[in-house]
Amino acid sequence: MAQKRGGRRRRQRGGRPTGSSVPIERDKHKHEVAVCHALRMLHIGPYIGAYWAVWVTSHEPIKAEDVEGLLTAAGTKINFTASSREKHIDALARKVDRTPVESSEWLHMSALAIKAAILAARIGDTELYCNMVDVLI
């Protein structure tokens, strides 16, 4: 659309107005943000937490791989090129810094449930782990 202003036409820019933001409940990366906040609560650094969040929320299956007969490692495919993956992880880490965990009840509850599920898995408490997965669902 064009508007007439001072005898000249000005094109309107598409997208959100400058300075506005999308609520976390409608953000397409909300699950990655929740995982990052949970990992930050466990004292994991921002960029490692963002990388792990991208890895965990990948839509590809997690596969066990044998590494030269010495150990078994779990891995998945992350659908980014090397440069865009690093840009995405950097943007995710900055988004987590800009979005306080207390900004949304959904984000706060999700981050706490993920943290509790990680701690329950760490100590082997299956009942608590299953309860936290139910909370997340």
- Whether 69 is covered by a domain: the verdict is yes
- Whether 128 is covered by a domain: the verdict is no
- Whether 21 is covered by a domain: the verdict is no
- Whether 92 is covered by a domain: the verdict is yes
- Whether 32 is covered by a domain: the verdict is yes
pLDDT over 70, % of the chain = 83
pLDDT of residue 34 exceeding 90:
yes
pLDDT band at 5 (very low <50, low <70, confident <90, very high): low
- Whether 17 is covered by a domain: the verdict is no
Q: Where are the alpha helices (DSSP H) in the chain?
A: 30-41, 46-56, 82-98, 105-123, 126-136
- Whether 101 is covered by a domain: the verdict is yes
Q: In total, how many domains does the chain have?
A: 1
Rounded to the nearest integer, the mean pLDDT of the chain is 83
Per-residue pLDDT, 2: 54
Q: Which domain holds residue 46?
A: 27-107
Q: Render pLDDT for 116-130 as a digit per residue (tens, 0 to 9).
A: 999 999 999 999 999
Q: Render pLDDT for 70-112 as a digit per residue (tens, 0 to 9).
A: 787 777 777 776 678 888 899 999 999 988 999 899 999 999 9
- Asked whether the beta carbons of 76 and 61 are under 8 A apart, the reply is yes
For residues 13-37, average pLDDT? 80
